[in-house]
Structure 1
């Protein structure tokens, strides 16, 4: 018999219950507000991290490019310094009259009085 009978439970509408429901509603609203604030804060933090990451990547790329350019310019400077030192040696040699005479004989086929020059074919000169 007890199985067929419906049990009805009445809610007590007391002032205590009313305050508890209001407090639960306030807590629920606060939690919703907290979740919203945290979501907005999280979105701003994510945006900040993305912007900082992109900026750091661009700066890193620019630094690498500058280092590559610096390396190339350093190599070019070394080449130019080597060329400059060889030109300085050439200048020193050009102050020597014997070197000038040798250049004149080799490049312009000039000879000293009483001297005979013989020109060999280039193929024989390269074999030496």
Structure 2
């Protein structure tokens, strides 16, 4: 889904907030330590845009969430730049839009494992 967004946004850059769920909260065994964060939520940039543009408050991302980010660099490079919005973990895509590279906020590459899993169902308390 993230790579598809990058393709659709090209030649513009894509910048999406991501959040994680601990591996132990998934209904299936992912073969990971239960505390390992698994990126499972996407907060699209259009949500809350009007308030953010006027007041600088991001209503599209719940408080305390979004410690990761997906970025695309349509013209490259395949590394973080000073122009990028950083987070604890950044997933970066560059053409030909086939893979993601993970970085920490200092631009050091991180290992990335893709898991095929359905995140746990969440509901809003009444």
Give the TM-score, by structure 2 length: 0.14
Structure with more strand by fraction = 2
Q: TM-score, normalised by structure 1?
A: 0.14
Higher helix share: 1
Computing the radius of gyration from Cα coordinates, the structure with the larger value is 1
